[in-house]
């Protein structure tokens, strides 16, 4: 047996394995130059016998998530105590969608599609795959398992329904509403019968990026080439690369929120003179529920505009993550006088709800009652730029990195 195993190990295919490696810890904003793309690594496509329950996967999609910024920063703040930072010189990791190439874990076998924590590389050996979810439903775009059907989807679900308990007719405000989580919160709240307004920042004219049209994503690559992706699932989902280039592309987030995602109203916070005045205009009767993704001045303005017994689900504070010192919050007295509930939460509190979440959301997707916008950067080598863009609001929709097609 030993000889046979040794022979099998020798036979295992060895492939090149491109990787995104952390070069130095970010100070302030994460930069492209904090990473290097390592092209000389290799990977044997066999789980080593020493790994009792390892799984080896080929990565298809990687997810750019705001929480990654904490793992990339050199900071001794006690706030980040719950995260363990990436090591310098090592491949970074995060949520992704992948296919099992080899498995020593009883729950997974070769050919299974999975989502969960994987590496920013072409192939990953996952030693502890207990937190991987097997993908059972493939009649929806696989990339959605980094967003709508993955961690951001469950985050939106848990934050809105478990933390905020929305009731029909309530007024809901969502910041970063075109982001991975925000766009879903707004749509879930609409399905509940709430009045929903979102805020987003306009993306500056970009030399590359994606624009959503009905059933079509126009994606302009960094080299100027245009890729058209047609999503007419469950029937079909295919991409066509067009042999011409354009110089810039822009998507208006207000148009996106109002006309494609079905929000009742939306505004571009970068075009507002004052956030308090904007909120008073969009919520003359005040806000019942605020889904917080950004923090800072927006949270301060929202506090002034909350209604009695309002609820604030704190999902993210992306405007604050790269600041040396966070901005001060001054309208704390609103929490007292309006008897507000302000609650921080994380998706990890709601993992047990994933089956219930799928029961709600899959029929809505199939009935085309939920739209999901993704901003797909192509190629692992464009991963760092895509991640960096998250913190300057460059993405419209869930930022994904395409590593390989199925």
- How many residues would you count in the chain? 406
Is the omega angle on the peptide bond into residue 16 within 30 degrees of 0, that is, cis?
no
Identify the residue among 140, 154, 340, 387 touching a copy of itself (CB under 8 A).
340
Of 191, 223, 195, whose CA–CA distance to 207 is shortest?
223
Binding to a copy of itself (CB under 8 A) within 1-30 occurs at none
Identify the residue among 25, 230, 233, 345 touching a copy of itself (CB under 8 A).
345
Task: Give me the 236-265 binding string for a copy of itself, x by CB under 8 A, dash otherwise.
Answer: ------------------------------
334/120 Cα distance (integer angstroms): 43
Secondary structure (DSSP) of 278-311: HHHHH-TT-EEEEEESS-THHHHHHHHHEEEEEE
Which of 266, 315 has the CB closer to a copy of itself?
Answer: 315
Q: Does 393 bind a copy of itself (CB under 8 A)?
A: no
Binding to a copy of itself (CB under 8 A) within 277-306 occurs at 295, 299, 304
Enter the tokens of residue 24. 């130095």
Least CB distance to a copy of itself at residue 277 (A):
13
C-beta separation of 288 from 311 below 8 A: yes
Of 392, 403, 375, 313, whose CA–CA distance to 147 is shortest?
375
Which of 346, 404 has the CB closer to a copy of itself?
Answer: 346
Tokens 């079905």, residue located: 262
Q: Is the dihedral of CA 37, 40, 44, 47 positive or negative?
A: negative
Which of 119, 310 has the CB closer to a copy of itself?
Answer: 310
Stretch that binds a copy of itself, among 35-43, 99-107, 319-327, 353-361 (CB under 8 A): 319-327
**What phi-psi label fits residue 142: left (phi over 0), alpha (psi between -120 and 50 degrees) or beta?**
alpha
Identify the residue among 36, 37, 117, 346 touching a copy of itself (CB under 8 A).
346
Binding to a copy of itself (CB under 8 A) within 60-99 occurs at 78-82
Backbone angles phi, psi at 254, to 5 degrees: -65, -45
Which of 65, 102 has the CB closer to a copy of itself?
Answer: 65
Stretch that binds a copy of itself, among 48-56, 206-214, 345-353, 365-373 (CB under 8 A): 345-353
Identify the residue among 128, 271, 349, 359 touching a copy of itself (CB under 8 A).
349
Alpha helices in 170-282 (DSSP H): 182-191, 253-255, 275-282
Which of 4, 78 has the CB closer to a copy of itself?
Answer: 78
Q: Does 328 bind a copy of itself (CB under 8 A)?
A: yes
Q: Does 319 bind a copy of itself (CB under 8 A)?
A: no
Least CB distance to a copy of itself at residue 145 (A):
24
Which of 201, 316 has the CB closer to a copy of itself?
Answer: 316
Which of 193, 274 has the CB closer to a copy of itself?
Answer: 274
Q: Does 316 bind a copy of itself (CB under 8 A)?
A: yes
Least CB distance to a copy of itself at residue 307 (A):
11
Q: Does 185 bind a copy of itself (CB under 8 A)?
A: no
Identify the residue among 334, 371, 382, 399 touching a copy of itself (CB under 8 A).
334
Tokens 């991975």, residue located: 180
Axis crossing angle, helix 275-282 with helix 297-305, rounded to the nearest 10: 40
Which of 162, 265 has the CB closer to a copy of itself?
Answer: 162
C-beta separation of 149 from 361 below 8 A: yes
Q: Does 330 bind a copy of itself (CB under 8 A)?
A: yes
Q: Is the dihedral of CA 212, 217, 218, 219 positive or negative?
A: positive
Would you tell me how many other CB atoms lie within 10 Å of the CB of residue 106? 7
Secondary structure (DSSP) of 103-148: E-STT--TT-EEEEEEESBSEEEES-GGG-EE----SS-GGGGGTT
Q: Does 343 bind a copy of itself (CB under 8 A)?
A: yes
Using CB under 8 A as the criterion, which residues of the chain lie in contact with a copy of itself when the complex forms?
78-82, 295, 299, 304, 308, 314-317, 320, 325-346, 349
């Amino acid at each position: 047996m030993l000889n046979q195993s040794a022979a099998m190990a020798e036979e295992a295919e060895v492939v090149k394995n491109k990787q995104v490696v952390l070069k130095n810890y970010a100070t302030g904003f994460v930069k492209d130059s904090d990473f290097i793309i390592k092209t000389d690594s290799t990977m044997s496509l066999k789980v080593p016998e020493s790994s009792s329950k390892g799984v080896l996967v080929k990565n298809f999609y990687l997810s750019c998530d705001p929480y990654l910024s904490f793992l990339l920063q050199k900071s001794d703040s006690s706030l980040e105590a719950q995260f363990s930072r990436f090591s310098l010189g090592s491949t970074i990791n995060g949520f992704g969608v992948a296919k099992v190439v080899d498995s020593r874990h009883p729950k997974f076998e070769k050919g299974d599609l999975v989502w969960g924590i994987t590496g920013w590389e072409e192939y990953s050996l996952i030693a502890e795959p207990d937190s991987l979810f097997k993908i059972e439903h493939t009649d929806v775009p696989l990339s959605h398992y980094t967003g709508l059907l993955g961690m951001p989807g469950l985050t939106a679900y848990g934050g809105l329904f478990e933390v905020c308990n929305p009731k029909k007719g309530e007024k809901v405000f969502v910041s970063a509403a075109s982001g991975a989580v925000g766009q879903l919160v707004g749509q879930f709240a609409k399905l509940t019968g709430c009045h929903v307004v979102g805020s987003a920042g306009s993306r500056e004219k970009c030399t590359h990026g994606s624009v959503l049209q009905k059933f079509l994503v126009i994606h302009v690559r960094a080299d100027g080439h245009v890729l058209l992706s047609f999503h007419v699932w469950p029937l079909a989902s295919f991409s066509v690369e067009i042999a011409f280039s354009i110089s810039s592309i822009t998507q208006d987030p207000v148009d996106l929120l109002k006309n494609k995602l079905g929000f009742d109203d939306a505004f571009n916070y970068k075009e507002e003179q004052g956030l308090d005045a904007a909120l008073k205009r969009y919520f003359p009767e005040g806000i019942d529920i605020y889904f917080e993704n950004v923090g800072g001045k927006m949270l301060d303005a929202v506090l002034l505009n909350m209604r009695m017994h309002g609820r604030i689900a704190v999902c993210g504070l992306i405007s604050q993550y790269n600041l040396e010192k966070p901005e001060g919050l001054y309208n704390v007295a609103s929490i007292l006088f309006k008897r507000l509930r302000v609650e921080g939460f994380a998706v990890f509190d709601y993992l047990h709800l994933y089956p219930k979440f799928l029961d709600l959301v899959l029929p809505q997707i199939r009935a085309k009652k939920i739209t999901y916008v993704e901003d797909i950067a192509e190629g692992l080598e464009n991963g760092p730029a895509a991640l960096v863009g998250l913190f300057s609001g460059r993405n419209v929709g869930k930022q994904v990195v395409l590593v390989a097609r199925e």
